[in-house]
Structure 1
C-alpha cells in the first residue's frame, strides 16, 4: 500500500501534471477564436484538438524550439537535485537546438503529443474536479454543478463518501500520464546519433586526458622519489661528506624538476583553456642519464641520428618512456650497469634500455604500472613497447613511428 501512495507524495508527479496542463493552453486559445467554448459539441472538440497540430509542426521547424522543450522537460518531467526524493538517473533529454530534419521531425511529434495529451488531461481534470465538487455539494444539499458527463441527482450525506474518489482517480491518471510523457520525452527529445557520438568522443577525450595526467605524475614524481630514496640510502651507506653533498644536490635537482612538472599539470587541471607549459623532450635526455649516474648506476649511452628532427609528440613521449625505464632500473635492480640506446632512423625512433637482473630482485616491470604506462604511450603513437628477459639481462625496447 505505501508503494501505491508513493507517486502522490512526490513533487515530480505534480510538476508533470502542470507540464501537461500547460500544453493545453494553445488548444484552448485556438478554441476561443474558433469554434468557441460555448457548449461545444463532440465534433467541436475534435476540431479543437486538430487545429493546433499545424501550429506545433510549424513551430518545430525553428531549431531553438527543441532547446526550449528540452529545458522544460528536464525541469518539470524529472526529479532534480532540489527534489525531496532525488534521482541520479540522467534524464536523457537533449537541450541542444535541432541540427537536422530528423531532430525537427521528432520535435514536431513531441509538440503534437504534448498538445493532444495536455488537452485530454485538462478536460479530464475539469470533469473529475467538477464531479468531486458536485458530490460534496449533494452531500450538503445542493449539487450546484452542471454540464458533467456524470450528473449527480439527489442529495444526502451518503454522497460525501464517494466525493474524494474522483480526486484520487485524477491523481492516478496524472501520475500515469506524467510517467508516460517522461518516457516519450526521452525518445522524442533524446540526443540524436550525432549528439551521442559527440558526447562519447568528449567523454573519451576526458578519460584520455585523465590517463595522460596520471601517467605524467607517475613518471615524474616516481622518478624523483626513486632518485631521492636511492641517493639517501647511498649517502648513508657511504658516510662520506663529499658524496653526501653530491647526493643532496641530486635530490634537490630531482625534486625541483618534479615540482615543475607538478605545477604544469596543476595549471592544466585548474585552467583547461590555458596552454600547458612545454614538456621535456628527448634532446634533454642527458639530464635523465646524469641523474641515473649520480645515483650510482653506470650508464653507457649511445645516441645515433638527429634528435632535433624527431616530431614533438614522439620526442616528449620518448623522454617519459626513458625516464620510466631508468626509474624501474633504479627501483628494482639498484645502481647497476645500464645500457641505453637511442636511435633515430629513417621512419622510426628506437629506444633500448638494458640492465642486468639482480639475483634476488624480482623480474622488473613484469606487470607494474610503469611498464603498462610505457605500453600505453607507445600504442597511442602507433608504436610498440616490449620488455622481458634477454639472457641474464632485462631489456626494454620501444619502437615509435616518426610519421
Structure 2
C-alpha cells in the first residue's frame, strides 16, 4: 500500500504538474489575440466562435514552438521539473550529416514535435489546473465546520452535500486524494511525452552517432601516433644509452653523440606526448607535430646514433605526396625501423622509398632474428605494432605485406596510392 502512494509523496510529482500549469498560464497572453477573429464575426453561433478561438489559439501556440530557442528552454525546464534525462539539441552546422532520400519527411515530422509538445503541455495544464483547483476547493470547503451547517459544493448543476460531519470529512479527504492523483496523472503524461517530443530527433541521433565515430577515429589515430612515436623513441634511446655506457671511457666523443641523440629523441617524444595528452583532455593545444617524408633523413640519423647501419634508397618527387599520406608514410617507415631495432638480428637496415605519380612504395629490410615466423595474412582490427600498421595501411586503401625475404631477412613492404579509388 505504501508503495502505491509513494509517488503522491514525492515533490517531483507536484513540480511536474506545476510545469504544466505554467505552460497553461504562459498561453493566456495569446488568448485576446486568438479571440479577434471571433469578435470580427459576431453573427456566427457561439459554438462556432468558441471553436474558432480555440483553433487560432492553438495555431499561435504552435508557432511559438517552431523557434529553436523555445525547444532549448523547454528541454532545460523538463529536465529540471520533470526529472527526465533529455540531451541538449544538436546545433545544426557544417558537420551535420548528409540528408538521405527520406530526410524531408523525417525533418518535417521532427520540425513539428516541439509545437505538439507545447499544445499537449497547455492542454494538460488547463485540464489539470481546473480539476485540481475544483477538487482542492471541495476538500477545503466540504467539512461543515469550515463552511457552515449547510456545507456543500455545486458545479454546473452537480452538487455534493454530505449529511453528517464524518461524511463531510470523508468526502473532503477523497477530493484531496483525487486532486493529488490529478497532479500525478498530469506529471506522468508529460514524462511519457517528453522523450518522444523533446528527445533527440532522428537527425540529432545521426549527428551524435557521427560525432562519436569521429571522436573514436581521432582517439584511435592518436593512439597510433603515440605508439609509433614513443615506441620508436624508447627503442632508440635504450640502444643509445647502452652504446653510451659501453664507449664512455674509450670514446667520450661517441658517448657524447649518443647522449645528444637521446636528448633530441626525448624532446621529440615529449612534443608528441604533450599534443596527444592535450587532445585526450580536450584542451586547446597547438598544431600537431607534423613529420613527413621530408623528415626521413633526421629519422635515419637518429637510428644511426643508436648504432644501427641504415642504407636508404630514396627516389621520386616527394612533393607529389599530400600531407596526410606523407605523414602516414613517415610513421610507417618509423615503425619499420623500430621493429628492425627491436627484433632484428643486427646488420644493415635497407630502407627504400619510391614516389611515382600513382603511388608511394615503402620497404624496410633487415636481418631476421632467430625464431621469427611469417606474419599471418589476416590481422586483427586493432592493436599495436604490425597489426596497427596493417590497419593504418588499409584505411589509406594501400597494400601491406610483412614476412621473410629469403632465409635470413625480414621485409616490410607497403604500397600507398596517391589517389583514392573512385
TM-score by length of 2: 0.77
1:277-292 → structure 2 map (5 Å cutoff): 277-292=288-303
The 3-state SS of whatever aligns with 1:346 is coil
Cα offset, 1:281, TM superposition: 0.8
Question: Is 1:232 the counterpart of 2:227 in the alignment?
Answer: no
Matched-pair contact (CA < 8 Å) for 2:82–2:187: yes
The 3-state SS of whatever aligns with 1:24 is helix
Q: 1:22 to 1:364 in 2, by over 3 A?
A: same
Q: 1:338 to 1:134 in 2, by over 3 A?
A: same
Cα offset, 1:207, TM superposition: 1.9
Cα offset, 1:245, TM superposition: 3.2
Mapped partners of 1:258, 1:355: distance in 2: 25
Cα offset, 1:349, TM superposition: 0.9
Matched-pair contact (CA < 8 Å) for 1:378–1:400: yes
The 3-state SS of whatever aligns with 2:79 is helix
Question: Is 1:199 the counterpart of 2:208 in the alignment?
Answer: yes
In the other structure, the counterpart of 2:412 is 396
Matched-pair contact (CA < 8 Å) for 2:304–2:310: yes
Q: 1:30 to 1:130 in 2, by over 3 A?
A: farther
Question: Is 1:120 the counterpart of 2:127 in the alignment?
Answer: yes
Q: 1:275 to 1:229 in 2, by over 3 A?
A: closer
Mapped partners of 1:95, 1:204: distance in 2: 16
Cα offset, 1:58, TM superposition: 3.2
> Which of the numbers 82, 86, 107 marks the counterpart of 1:91?
86
Deviates more, 1:147-156 or 1:351-360: 147-156
Cα offset, 1:20, TM superposition: 1.3
Mapped partners of 1:395, 1:13: distance in 2: 70
Mapped partners of 2:72, 2:219: distance in 1: 31
Give the total of aligned pairs: 386
Cα offset, 1:215, TM superposition: 1.9
Cα offset, 1:279, TM superposition: 0.7
Query: RMSD across aligned C-alpha pairs, in angstroms?
Result: 3.7
Cα offset, 1:179, TM superposition: 3.0
Cα offset, 1:259, TM superposition: 1.6
Deviates more, 1:383-392 or 1:119-128: 383-392
Q: What whole-Å deviation, never above 9, does each CA across 1:57-114 have from its counterpart, x for those lacking one? A: 33334444333333332332225xxxxxxxxxx42563769x9644442222222212
Mapped partners of 1:364, 1:250: distance in 2: 32
In the other structure, the counterpart of 1:65 is 70
Matched-pair contact (CA < 8 Å) for 1:329–1:364: no
Q: Gaps spanning 5+ residues in structure 1: where?
A: 36-42, 80-89
Question: Is 1:187 the counterpart of 2:202 in the alignment?
Answer: no
Mapped partners of 2:150, 2:332: distance in 1: 87
Cα offset, 1:318, TM superposition: 1.1
Cα offset, 1:341, TM superposition: 1.3
Mapped partners of 1:95, 1:315: distance in 2: 35
Q: 1:375 to 1:26 in 2, by over 3 A?
A: same
In the other structure, the counterpart of 2:41 is none
Q: 1:65 to 1:334 in 2, by over 3 A?
A: same
Matched-pair contact (CA < 8 Å) for 1:299–1:340: yes
Q: 1:274 to 1:231 in 2, by over 3 A?
A: closer
Question: Is 1:378 the counterpart of 2:389 in the alignment?
Answer: no
Cα offset, 1:331, TM superposition: 2.3
In the other structure, the counterpart of 2:305 is 294
Matched-pair contact (CA < 8 Å) for 1:49–1:116: no
Q: 1:307 to 1:53 in 2, by over 3 A?
A: same
Mapped partners of 1:381, 1:311: distance in 2: 12
Q: What whole-Å deviation, never above 9, does each CA across 1:17-41 have from its counterpart, x for those lacking one? A: 1111112225666779979xxxxxx
Matched-pair contact (CA < 8 Å) for 1:70–1:95: no
Mapped partners of 1:31, 1:253: distance in 2: 75
The 3-state SS of whatever aligns with 2:154 is coil
Cα offset, 1:163, TM superposition: 4.0
In the other structure, the counterpart of 2:163 is 154
Mapped partners of 2:403, 2:171: distance in 1: 83
Q: What whole-Å deviation, never above 9, does each CA across 1:327-348 have from its counterpart, x for those lacking one? A: 2222233644322111111211
